[in-house]
Amino acid sequence: MSSGNNNPIGVFDSGIGGLSVANAISGLLPKESLIYFADTGRVPYGPRTRQEITDFSFEITRFLLDHQCKMIVVACNTATAAALESLRKQWPDIPFVGMEPAVKPAAEATRSGKVGVLATLSTIRSERYAELMRRYAANVEVFENPCIGLVPLIEAGQLNAPETIEQLKEILTPMLAQQVDTLVLGCTHYPFLLPLLKGMVPADCKIIDPAPAVARQVARRLEHLSLAAKPEHPAEYQFFHSGPVADLSFFTDIPWFIHSVKSSK
Ligand code: DGL
């Protein structure tokens, strides 16, 4: 039995996308307090340089550590690809959990041998992604799309709007024409489009949302490090955002206490 640590878990993303991960964590670990940082003043990260994304990730991590977070979940594929290694180097005693496009499970699941990856430009261009492809995708064909413009639509709560549907059609049509039967959601914003996506692909097309697997990884790390909250601990949920934010009820049922903060750039 672990000794118990009731400090919060810090979770961050460029915007509200990481709520797909925070929702999975709070569902699996209802005793854990969460502090979420949505960098909505600087979203999207996808078109930014690695250096910018790394600087932002450092700044947000400092903020979360100042708020006594016991673990940091980088709930953003783009920030993970750009900054996770440097974050771990800078804070070797802090446990970090990151995201990665689910190329491995997709390569195992596909029957047509063709996989579609929806991720940001920065993720697709990253060394981390190239390494994933080398390790797991040698025997499958992968079709990527950087989904330019999709994150701002999701941020604006346009989860079922004609522009969103139009954009998804443009992304999916060429993939489906190539017999893609497995789709990887390689950006934490995209699970909010799952209801739409499911209606736009054949019923047997598998869509992989990595959030549940990341929540299980958080649980394993907490247990292993004896950092899990005590069973009687009442969880608290703080949500910080650095810019405009849509109605959170589109994205989460968690009773967040909401704070607005300024980011430095
Ligand atoms: N949610 C993010 C990800 O998982 C980033 C989206 C963006 O800001 O471009 O990659």
For the chain, percent of residues with pLDDT exceeding 90 = 96
* DSSP E strands, 53-212: 71-74, 96-97, 114-118, 141-145, 182-185, 206-208
pLDDT tens for residues 228-251? 999 999 999 999 999 999 999 999
Domain extent listing, the chain: 9-99+212-258, 103-209
What's residue 264's pLDDT? Answer: 59
If phi > 0 it is left, if psi is from -120 to 50 it is alpha, else beta; for residue 186 that is: alpha
Which pLDDT does position 262 carry in this prediction? 81
Q: Please, what is the average pLDDT of the chain?
A: 96
C-alpha of residue 18 to centroid of ligand 1, in Å: 8
Q: Do domains 9-99+212-258 and 103-209 have the same CATH topology?
A: yes
Q: Which two tokens stand for residue 28?
A: 């699996």
Is 76 a residue of the active site? yes
Q: Which amino acid is at 11?
A: V
Which residue out of 37, 77, 190 has the highest number of ligand 1 atoms within 8 Å of its CB and is therefore the one to mutate?
77
Tell how far the Cα of 22 is from the centroid of ligand 1, in angstroms. 14
Would the pLDDT of 2 be above 90?
no
| Residue 43 Cβ < 6 Å to ligand 1 | yes
pLDDT category at 141 given cuts 50, 70, 90 is very high
Do 10 and 69 contact (CB within 8 A), yes or no? yes
**Per-residue pLDDT tens for 183-221?**
999 999 999 999 999 999 999 999 999 999 999 999 999
In angstroms, the Cα distances linking 82 to 51, 106, 133, 148, 204 are 8, 22, 16, 18, 33
Q: Which CATH architecture has domain 103-209?
A: 3-Layer(aba) Sandwich (3.40)
CATH class in words for 9-99+212-258: alpha beta
pLDDT value of residue 263: 64
Asked if 211 contacts 235 with a C-beta cutoff of 8 angstroms, the reply is no
